[in-house]
Structure 1
Amino acid sequence: MGTDIALVIALVVFLLIAFRQVLPSPPAIWQIMVGGAVAMLLAGAVTPVAAITAIDLEVMIVLFSVLLLGAALEESGWLAAFAGKLLGRAGTTGALVTLVVVLAAVGAAVLTNDTIAVIGTPLLLGYARHTGIRPHLLLLALAFGITTGSAASPVGNPQNLLVAVHGGFSEPFVQFFTALAPPTAIALVLVCAVLYATARDEWGRPCGRAAVSAAEDRVLVGLVRLSLLTVVLLLAVRTFFPQIFPGAAIPLAAVAASAAVPFLLSGRRTVLLRSVDWPTLVFFAAMFVVMEGVRESGVLEGAPGWGSPAALGVPAVIATGMIASQVISNVPFVALALPLLEQAGAGPETLLALAAGSTIAGNLTILGAASNIIIVQGAERRGVTLSFGAFMRPGVPLGIAQAVVYTAWLVMV
């Protein structure tokens, strides 16, 4: 009976996530997941103790730290000012679009995709007003750049974080970057090529210069730089001087926490804590509880997964990730797929394929990534509408071409 209840609850949760937009008052994804977790507890599919222990502390620490760093960047105004100075150097539409793609990609790899989506949307809409460039072109550059760039980093997006923590990677930053940075670079070239194809008539047109806003809080800017420098130094020491940490990797949580400490010691910690994206953290905590109910039901032990290790195949995993992420969203899909792949004996290249496929799924449709929804909703609040079709026309061919690139690369390595 417990098995049936857990499966029914999980199925209802995923169906609500998939079709929430057709509901009269669509609930947020985190609200649906919290409802599922509460239902698991009330139905007895998960005990309170099991629910608490199911919440992965390392994932929560990493996610909180990255979100706190993103909140500090937004509050300080430093990231917007830094991006503004670079974008102000662009003399043509094509140069500006290319800079947006590159900056969005790098920012997402370091600070997570949703953070850059929140900060970048108002910044680029302001640029569109001042330069005369179509806002849709800049919004597409932002969305495609964020999704593609986040694929190369274990903290670039939540699904990569799940794979990095639970995939048995000893050095997730190094392993993700080594395996996924080269195809990501090619995938970013494809982004620029697709955007050029959609706006070739205005690609070489001179664009005006927009005013650059100054950073607002110099103390907070200093803390941001200190945090970023701390993370870079930790990773550099571990990579180039491994003898300092013999036989052990620096956990992701330790790296992330080192970035968060300066803000918790600052005079604006209350403001920063209020600015953290708490719904995302709540979503993850609730998702762990729902997945614990699925695990306790025993259904995963009896599931065949993708078959034997020899039959898994990088192409199948990437294709499945891209399609399934459109239906139940990429983070829940990865949470479901990870134990199945581990059960089937999947190797690192297959887990990296899972991360890559579920990530670039965001380039197919607006619903493929939460960062897309953030961009679209942020634009609508400012009077600009990016339709489903306008996104898919360049997004579908881009996503398919990128899938080919990642598949070919991961098969070769």
Structure 2
Amino acid sequence: MSFSLIITIIIFILISIRQWLPSWLRIWHIMSMGAIAILLMGEVSFKSAFTGVDWNVIAYLFGVFSIAAALYDSGISDRMCDYLNKHHPSISISLLFLMVFSGITAAVLTNDAAAVIGTPIALTLARLLKIRPTLLLIALCTSVTIGSMLTPVGNPQNILIAAKGHITNPMSSFALWLIVPTVFSMLFAFFWLLYVQKKWGSPCQEHADLPKPNHGSTWPAYLSVGMLIIMILGDSILISINPNYHLPIGVIALIACLPVYCFNRHRKTVLKEVDWPTLIFFVAMFIVTGAVLASGDLQTWLGPKINELDHPPLLTMISFWGSQLFSNVPLIEIYLQLLTQQSLPTMMLLSATSTLAGNLFIISAASNVIVVQQAEKFNVKPFSFWEFALTLLPITIVSLIFSYIWIVFVMS
């Protein structure tokens, strides 16, 4: 076993027991220390580590974080919650609103954007309802994950599959194959979380230390959102026509966030509110997973099975459990390099299982990490590793089994 794989396992263990570690130790600290250890031990060179980072994803996240910060600064979260508060919503209505809004946002703007935009909304709703923020934050995580499964731009792994999986018409293919599992999983998640809330049920006065929005000009943020949606959807259509007409998603996000920095007089506040710790987390994660891939441990463990990676049971097992160890984005990047057969059913099953794997552990999906670190930025303790896992375990099992049956036995 290589040193880099040992470090990866230690990172996973430390994150799983973080609730018993010092409160100042955040997820991005743990991942960063793992990356530094790998670099100091010479597992990868500094040049290889730099080139191994997917700067396209980093640029995309910076652009999305900037747009999300500008949206919050414009007061969108307050306006949404004020509207709900005027109509005296119940917990069930608020939960349904949050999940539908987050799921649609994830499908259109990707899961990471939905996580950033949805966190302050979830925290504000929890304060209005006088309940623990934990339920709504977990609901945000699972709805963002499930909703992102529906489109080729819903999450970074879907973008990789659409770009490298030889899918001729990504938008219609994802919608046709995955709309039923998405709707079923979202409905089951809603009713399960409603049941969980009734069990928790005690009022709570804990509230987030949310900074007051400046309520400045809203049009730069809305223009950025519109540009991001149009450019992502347009790029997806262009890819289906001719793969050579592809604009990297990082470039799209950087262009889309330009109105925020060019026309918003609170641009310094927006830049300050960008989630820099999460960007550092991603850089460190790419270094760690790149070192594991370079070590050859995975190829050795797979052995002759490496030629059977398109078989549904093996694909489901590896993509699901591999996402727990490496997170789903690096896992898909590795898996696509090892696959020899890239049929449409294989790509759809790979997308569904790697995406739904994000509902098991915090580290399984980047959007979960974003929600945790956004909440902690607002001085809220979101949820523990095991509280998240145990709450979402039924959702994970049911949605995964249903999706597998639908794709393998109904659609194929």
TM-score, scaled relative to structure 1: 0.75
1:362 is aligned to 2:362: no
Matching of residues 7-46 of structure 1 within 5 Å: 7-22=2-17, 24-25=21-22, 27-46=25-44
Q: CA deviation at 1:53?
A: 2.5
Partner of 2:74 in structure 1?
76
Identity of paired residues, percent?
33
Q: Could you tell me which residue of structure 1 aligns to residue 395 of structure 2?
A: 398
**Cα drift, residue 177 of structure 1:** 4.7
Distance 1:176 1:64, change over 3 A: farther
Q: Deviations over 1:93-139 (max 9, x none)?
A: 43332212101212333445455445544544443444466755544
Q: How much does 1:239 deviate? A: 6.7
Alignment length, in residue pairs? 396
Q: Following the alignment from structure 1 to structure 2, what is the Cα–Cα distance between the partners of residues 327 and 246?
A: 31
| Residue 248 to residue 329, structure 1, CA distance change in 2 (3 Å) | closer
**Structure 1 residues 346, 279: CA separation in 2 closer, same or farther (over 3 Å shift)?**
farther
| Stretch deviating more after TM superposition (73-82 or 318-327) | 318-327
Change in 2 beyond 3 A, CA 1:178/1:76: farther
1:234-258 Cα distance to aligned partner (Å, 9 max, x none): 3555677899979634443343233
Q: Flag structure 2 segments of 5+ consecutive residues without an equivalent.
A: 202-210
1:127-142 correspondence to structure 2 within 5 Å:
127-131=125-129, 137-142=135-140
Contact 1:59 1:162 in 2 (8 A): no
Q: Is the 8 A contact 2:73 2:213 kept in 1?
A: no
Is 1:217–2:215 an aligned residue pair?
Answer: yes
Gap runs ≥5 in structure 1: 204-212
TM-aligned CA deviation for residue 389 of structure 1: 6.7
| Change beyond 3 A, Cα 1:194–1:168 | same
Correspondent of 1:231 among 228, 231, 235: 228
Match of 1:206 in 2: none
Residue from 353, 357, 370 that aligns with 2:349? 353
2-structure distance, mates of 1:387, 1:290: 23
**Which amino acid in structure 2 is aligned with residue 193 of structure 1?**
F
Instruction: Give the equivalent residue in structure 2 for 1:149.
Output: 147
Q: 1:336 to 1:280 in 2, by over 3 A?
A: farther
Counterpart CA distance in 1 for 2:379 and 2:27 is 23
> Are the equivalent residues in 1 in contact too, given 2:299–2:306 (CA < 8 A)?
no
| Change in 2 beyond 3 A, CA 1:136/1:34 | closer
The Cα of 1:402 is off from its aligned counterpart by 0.7
Q: Normalising by structure 2, what TM-score?
A: 0.75
1:275 positional shift: 1.8
Deviation at 1:403, TM superposition (A): 0.6
Question: CA separation in 2, counterparts of 1:9 and 1:274?
Answer: 33
What is the RMSD of the two structures over their aligned residues, measured on CA atoms?
4.2
2:371, 2:250 → 1: CA distance?
28
CA distance in 2 between counterparts of 1:282 and 1:250 reads: 24
Give the Cα separation in 2 of the matches to 1:364 and 1:157.
17
Q: What CA distance in whole angstroms lies between the structure 2 residues aligned with 1:94 and 1:318? A: 33
More moved, 234-243 vs 360-369:
234-243
Bigger Cα displacement from structure 2, 237-246 vs 108-117: 237-246
